[in-house]
Every structure is written in structure tokens, then in C-alpha cells.
Amino acid sequence: MNKAKGKSVVDGKSFLRSAFAAEQEVLSVQLKLSSESITHDGVMGDVNEQHFIEVLRKYLPNRYAVDSAIVIDSNGATSDQIDIVIYDPQYTPTLLDQHDHRFIPAESVYAVFEVKPTINKNYLEYAAKKAESVRALERTSVPITHVAGKPIVKELFPILSGIVATTIDWVEGFSSEAFIQNNSALVDLQALDCGLSVTGGCFDVFEGELAVGPTNNSLAYFIFRLLQKLNSLGTVPAVDWNKYAMVMSEQDA
């Protein structure tokens, strides 16, 4: 019997915790390596984005795509560049793809995240403004035929937003009064729903109040909570492609 099998037999819950803690340590080492070996801040940021994107792609079901992108609506308005966008790849195409550059229709977006080296007041506010640039876009929703044959219109759900980083500046982490006050000040289109510090824990407000996760298994806790929240949102709305088409014909009207 190998070591992992032995642990799972003796204490399955302990086996799960230790296995996911090891995966978190791998991500922590990758982020540390980039911070200590890459001398250009922009390149380091891109590399760290990919580390987080790869982890999310690994654990999110295939119904969700994960990329860096700009979000666009049927009026041609665009968001800021977003580090991580979780979106629907099944019913909604990306637009005007050029290598790693793409526009994602606002209707297909489930969640957006900013990747930062740490979490502090300035970066929370920065992530909040990025979230606002996405949430301010117009989203359409047209009737789709239900399995029973009755057309229904999917109600628009709030787009989730968050921040992920290697560390957190507050010593007491997400339980500190400073974090709670600064995060509570971000409301409406700027509200942040969740966050992860690979070395300092995680938080979310998915159930209406602040929930703080463990430090040793913050990555797994964050992912499982996010999965549950994404499940609760259901499927994205059906895009009104006619509205996009009308923009194409307006110059000829």
C-alpha cells in the first residue's frame, strides 16, 4: 500500500487536506519563483495571471472557459482589460480573436478577477474599478425554449468579481478590521464578492456576510466555494444577436 493510499484509508479527510495543501504549496512556489526571477513587472504579472488561470481551468468544469480578455456589449462599449474572466464557451462565441486577444460578450460572463502581488487597500480599489467596468456594460437576454416547450427569458444574474494574490498586507488577514472596513466600502458595481491570498487565506460574501477560509487550504476552499456559487447561477442568458446585428447595419440606414 502506497503512502497516499495509506493516508486515505486511515483518515480520508486528512488525506484530502494534505493533498490539496500540497497543491497550494506548488502554486505558492511558482508565484515566488516568478517574483524572484522575472525582472520586468509587466512580464511577471502576465506569468502570474497564467498560473492562476491554469489552476482555475484545472478545476472548473468544461462549461466554463477561463481567459484574460476585454468584455464588450452590443453597443460596442468595452471594459478595461481583465486579468481573469470566467465565461460561457458553449453558447456564446468570443469576438475578433487575434492570438491571445479577444472580446467576450458581456452576456457570457460569470465572473471577473484581478491578479495582484498582494491584497491591500489600493489593490482592492483597483480590482473594484475593473469589476465596475464590466458590470456597467449592457447585457441582453432573449427567450429560449425550455425543455417543456415554453419559451423563457433568463433573468440576468450579478456578475461575480474578486481579487487573487500571493499575499495579503494585513497581519490578521481577511479577519482584520482594516480589510473588513476597506472591503465594505466597495459597494454596488464595485463590490467584491471574493478573494484569495495563496499564503494568507481567502474570503467571500456569497451568502450575504463575510466568510473567511483557512490559511493552509485557502486555495481548495476558495475553489470549492466558487464552484458552489457558479452552480447556483445556472446558465448564462441567451444573447440577443439581432441587437449586435443592428449595429452592423446602422451606417446604411
Q: Check 67, 83, 193, 204 and give the catalytic one.
A: 83
- CA distance to 161, 169, 207, 232, per residue, from 190 (Å): 9, 21, 18, 21
DSSP H helical ranges for 91-195? 121-135, 177-184
Q: Residue 50: name the closest of 102, 95, 100 by CA.
A: 100
B/e letters for 33-58, b = 16+ CB within 10 Å, e = fewer, are: ebeeeeeeeeebbbbbbebbbebbee
SS3 92: coil
Q: Is 114 a catalytic residue?
A: yes
Active site residue 73: no
Gap between the Cα atoms of 207 and 229, Å rounded: 9
Kindly name the residue from 73, 114, 193, 204 that is annotated as catalytic.
114
Q: Is residue 5 flagged as an active site residue?
A: no
Cα distances from 153 to residues 124, 144, 157, in angstroms, run 34, 6, 12
Is residue 106 a contact partner of residue 138, using CB atoms and an 8 Å limit? Answer: yes
Catalytically annotated residue among 67, 116, 130, 204: 116
On whether the CB atoms of residues 166 and 28 are closer than 8 A, the answer is yes
Residues in Cβ contact with 140 at an 8 Å cutoff, skipping those fewer than 6 apart? 74, 107, 237, 239, 240, 243
List active site positions.
Answer: 83, 114, 116
